[in-house]
Structure 1
Amino acid sequence: MDALQPYLPLIVNALRVLAIIGLIHAIVTRQQVFWIVMLAFGALFGGLFGLAFAAVYTFMVLLPAARGGGQVAGRAVARGVEALKPLDLRIREAQAELAESDTLQRRADLAALQARAGRPDDAQATLSPLLSGIYADDPVVLLTSAELDLARGQAAQAEAKLRRVDLKASAATRTRTLTLLAQAQEAQGQPEADTAYREALNAATTEEPRARYAAYLVRQGRRDEARALLDALDKAERRATNLYRRQEREWFQLGRDLRKELK
């Protein structure tokens, strides 16, 4: 121990740097809250437990990520940095990229940013050229445009576009299409919405159909049916991996809110 004494300040500083790096990584990759809290403690105060957690996080998370998923981690960091930019700046950059090269992906990206900024009319205008061109029947275009129609209160137009989507394209496309179709039909007061929600539940690739159907049942006053779905959603959350839990957090949160409402 005496031999290490001269090196202790260097070791503490190294661990503190690791705590800072780990904290950034944990926030960008959305790790569990306790990691973030302990790493923040180590980065800010350099406490024994905080620095110990920095070492543990390095060996348990950072190094495996660097060995097995360096490119994935890099993309996650890039997305995190991109997300820090003001939304207006990201929209201007996306508009400049679209002016440079007009592609389906760039139009879809710009439309998504405009929708997030609360500008559904601009987003729909961005997508409109695709609806009459070679991409008119592309699922990405139809689904994005239909979602924007719903945000603008144009449920009938959304339904018409959703009817054009090829449900055999993929399981994810089928899930998203039927979920949006159910929402569009519900907004129009159509009883077929119940069937659409049920079909979306079959082989669903996300928890959204289950959560949205439960919300629909609550609005319909069918509380027992809603409670059964919410119990299944709660069980799915408890059994889910951390990655899946983060991915589906919006729908798990909706389920928790609905359970409170039913109490």
Structure 2
Amino acid sequence: MASDVPMPPADEMTDAAAAAPSDPVGGAGEVPVATDSRHQRPVRSFVLRAGRMGTGQIRALEELAPRFRLPYQAQLQDWDAHFGRQAPRVLEIGFGMGQATAQIAAARPELDFIGVEVHEPGVGSLLKMIGEGGLGNVRIVQHDAVEVLRDMVAPGSLAGLHIYFPDPWHKKRHHKRRLIQPDFVAFLATRLAPGGWLHCATDWQDYAVQMLEVLGGCPALENTAAPGSDGYVPRPEMRPLTRFEARGLRLGHGVWDLVFRRKAD
């Protein structure tokens, strides 16, 4: 994948995960889902937006989805069987149009990547890049990420979790809809193996501050930032610099990366 493919602004991107739960119930490894009492539906942090599909994306969905897109199932999956091998696995929540996902997968063939995204244009885009790049180490689940993690991924099984530029819900009254909340982060930590990483990135400073506070408050996680630093890390080599991000940096806009690791049990 070319690294200079433009990406949409962060406030136009969406999370492929449900809203962080607000009233914890259940045992370890479970995550409660907040509901809207008016309709008894889960309250989600993503908003489905219409998007146009190019002919290449449509063709990729038709030809490659049967192999690389997995249906949601409410049961733990045999990921070795899905990928045809044993390898460390990284799950990405909300991969957008998939440019970063494809580039990382191409650069790290020793890792397997599970991309979770609800928007079909993004799924078609990543499938197209999988075909063009011959990427055998990517699988896609087009479903709510909370349910995927809860039902399809065993506790302690992931080498890493990526959440890049989630919807910042920049209006203050909408901050409660942000994905990075204490209960959700505590749940994410249950899916990481000891030493596994949680890598978040945002270009909204107040969201970066919230992320640092929430991740730092999770007892199961430890910050990998250097002692005495501000708590953030330089952009890890694994995360590619997008054209949109590079343009923002030239204009003086900030980007904040946070990498936390699961503590040993």
TM-score by length of 2: 0.30
Q: Which structure: larger Rg? A: 1
**Structure 1 or 2: larger strand share?**
2
**Which structure has more RCO (C-alpha within 8 Å, separation ≥ 6)?**
2
